[in-house]
Structures are given as C-alpha cells and as structure tokens.
Chain A
C-alpha cells in the first residue's frame, strides 16, 4: 500500500505566487523525499529531509517535517511556469513508497 498521501490533489496558481503541498505518511521513517515529475517524464529528486531534521531549504524549495504528526510540507516560492509538474513525497521501505502526488499548474 502507498505510504504517503499528498494534499491537495491539484493546485493552480499564478506565476510569482507560492505553492504549498502537504504529505502525510503512516509509519516511522528514516527520511522523506520529494520528487518532481514533468508530464510523461521520469521523476527528478528535489530534496531529502531526515527524521531528525525539521526544516530544509534548497533554492526556492522549503520542506518541513513533523514526525509527531507524520506529515511533511513542500513550499515552492515565487513560482514559475517551469514549476508546472506533479510533485510526490516518498518514504523508504526499502524501495520508495509514493503517494498519488499533487499536480501543480502555474499560470503565466
């Protein structure tokens, strides 16, 4: 069964706005990862946050992790049209276990 679940399922924003998506998972984790998938393409790793970390930044990305609530969030600041994609959280078990993803559309 899928470990992570993303919320919302879809998000439409204007270029320049921020996009926030959430992920909930079921069991204890060592780390949680976020991936991006452009339409019809393979997944690209964005960021990994370990269970002993609460927040991590990478460029315009900010990820938080709350292990007590078994949840994580991904914030994309100052969105661009190129950020249009599906975003997945994944946990290790031993391969990755993915949620169904959040589809983000950035309107010009």
Chain B
C-alpha cells in the first residue's frame, strides 16, 4: 500500500515549456486534490476532483489544467510554464468530498527558469 505517489520528484523547465505532473493513489479514495506551496506559505488549492469524472477549480487555477484519468490517477498539466509557477506541488486524496483526513504525496519540486 503505497498511499499517494507523485512523479517526478524534481523538474526544471524553461519558460514556455509544458509538462504534466502525475499523481496516483491506491486507497480507493473518491476525491483528489492538487496544491502548490510557495516558500514560507501554506498550501493553496489549485484544482480538485470530488469524484471520478468531475473536476473543479480551487483558489489558484490559472495556468493549470487537470485530468482525472480514472479513480486512481489525477494529473496536473502546465501548458506554458512561467517563473511564477516555481513551487512545490502536492497531490492529496481522501475518501469522500466532505470532511475528513487528506493523505498527501511527497511533492514535486518544480523550478521554471
């Protein structure tokens, strides 16, 4: 039982390049989330998927797209990376869309030059 896994762990991009961050969970959770964490700040919600087949914007969705590929996988895509997107990205999941513990992945550290 690996929990929440994220790939890659580290990535360096040039401005304008695109990439997809992958997230998978093996806990049969319905809801999945993408957050970003900037230095000295808490996490901010980018997008979430309350259940398979649905996605919704969070607090900071601009510049990102997501795909809930199936119940296990939720990917985050940067179509044209900008230096302002340099951050650590965390994926999380939980059983349902309501209240409850979220389980976090180890994070992807992204630098955009």
B2 interface residue, CB < 8 Å from A?
A: no
Report Cα–Cα, A11/B50, bound state, in Å. 36
Interface size on A, residues (CB 8 A): 25
- Nearest residue, chain B, Cβ from A31: B99
Contact of A101 among B42, B48, B97, B107 (CB under 8 A): B42
Of the listed stretches B33-41, B67-75, B76-84, chain A binds: B33-41
Dominant secondary structure at the B interface: loop
The minimal Cβ–Cβ distance linking A9 to chain B, given in whole angstroms, is 9
Residue A97 CB within 8 A of the other chain: yes
Number of A-B contacts (CB under 8 A): 61
- On chain B, the residues within 8 Å of A25 by CB distance are none
State which of B40, B58, B59, B99 has its C-beta within 8 Å of the C-beta of A30.
B99
Also in contact, A45 and B42, with CB within 8 A (given A94-B48, A95-B35, A95-B58): no
6 closest residue pairs by CB, A with B = A98-B42, A42-B104, A95-B45, A45-B101, A43-B104, A98-B43
Residue ranges of A at the interface with B (Cβ–Cβ < 8 Å): 1-2, 4, 30-31, 33, 40-45, 48, 50, 88, 90, 92, 94-101
Known: A44-B104, A96-B92. 13 other contacts (CB 8 A): A30-B99, A41-B107, A42-B104, A43-B90, A45-B102, A94-B48, A94-B97, A96-B35, A96-B45, A96-B102, A97-B59, A99-B42, A100-B41
